[in-house]
Chain A
Amino acid sequence: AQKVTQAQTEISVVEKEDVTLDCVYETRDTTYYLFWYKQPPSGELVFLIRRNSFDEQNEISGRYSWNFQKSTSSFNFTITASQVVDSAVYFCALSEPSILTGGGNKLTFGTGTQLKVEL
């Protein structure tokens, strides 16, 4: 069975600090997909990134960066120079697509990390 662990329940930082959100996953499949979603106080889920298991390149998008390490089954998310608008709950998720269906829609989510960025 697949599992996603976000051990950090809540993180508080001061604006402009860098912060890393941890995500550790478990899966028996060799092909899988990892996601990060942001849930601001308004409640909607905002897609941030998708990464497949055969692409271990790290990715940077503005102040956001992701470090994918298959050897440790981790997919960590770093926000550089955090801002108050980054305050949200962040979810890491895992999907194992089915060969039969050609792609999956069954995400396993972690329990989320509440990030609070204060002035």
Chain B
Amino acid sequence: NAGVTQTPKFQVLKTGQSMTLQCAQDMNHEYMSWYRQDPGMGLRLIHYSVGAGITDQGEVPNGYNVSRSTTEDFPLRLLSAAPSQTSVYFCASNPRGVLLLNEQFFGPGTRLTVL
């Protein structure tokens, strides 16, 4: 298994450009999430999904869109990039569990710079 993969690893955008950060997992996990990591702020949840066709907002959703058409993929779209979106983005997945919440498996991250 490749686990959780993210592409690209690095990206530089100009203000106003749009792009999609890709995330895929091959573990058949129902849950997937996107976080952003900023210095001194830890990781913050952007959007999450509990299954194909179901998504919801996290703590910092503004400026980002997501969709979940398949179990494997959970792309994050930046509609009009802003310097405030300069960050490291992590995608995570975990299986559904009723009594035992399994760990989240994190991808390697995408470092995004918006000029």
State the A residues within 8 Å of B (CB): 4, 6, 9, 33, 35, 37, 43-45, 47, 50, 52, 91, 93, 95, 97, 101-112
Verify B33–A110 contact, CB threshold 8 A.
no
B20-44 contacts to A, CB under 8 A, are: 31-33, 35, 40-44
Q: Assess A97 versus B42: contact at CB under 8 Å? Given A43-B108, A44-B106, A45-B90.
A: no
- Which residues of A lie under 8 Å from residue B100 when comparing CB positions? 52, 103
Residue of B nearest to A4 (CB): B42
6 closest cross-chain pairs (CB), A and B: A105-B31, A109-B42, A45-B106, A103-B97, A109-B43, A111-B42
Task: Name B93's closest neighbour in chain A (CB-CB).
Answer: A105
In the assembled complex, 28 residue pairs joining A and B whose CB atoms fall closer than 8 Å, in A order, are A35-B104, A43-B88, A43-B108, A43-B109, A45-B90, A45-B106, A47-B103, A47-B105, A50-B101, A52-B100, A52-B101, A102-B98, A103-B94, A103-B95, A104-B101, A105-B33, A105-B50, A105-B93, A105-B104, A106-B45, A106-B48, A106-B58, A107-B35, A109-B35, A109-B43, A110-B42, A111-B40, A111-B42
Within 8 Å of chain A (Cβ to Cβ): is B96? Answer: yes
Contact of B43 among A43, A47, A91 (CB under 8 A): A91
Residues of B within 8 A of A101 (CB): 31, 50, 96
> Nearest B residue to A112 by beta-carbon distance?
B42
Bin the interface of chain B by size.
20 to 34
| Further pairs besides A44-B106, A50-B103, A109-B44: 6, Cβ < 8 Å | A91-B42, A104-B101, A105-B50, A105-B93, A105-B104, A106-B45
Residues on the B chain within 8 Å of A103, using CB: 31, 94-98, 100-102
Q: Please, what's the 1-or-0 string for B61-74, where 1 marks a CB less than 8 Å from any CB in chain A?
A: 00000000000000
Residue of A6, A50, A107 with most chain B CB atoms under a 10 A cut-off: A107
Query: Would you call A97 and B106 a contact (CB within 8 A)?
Result: no
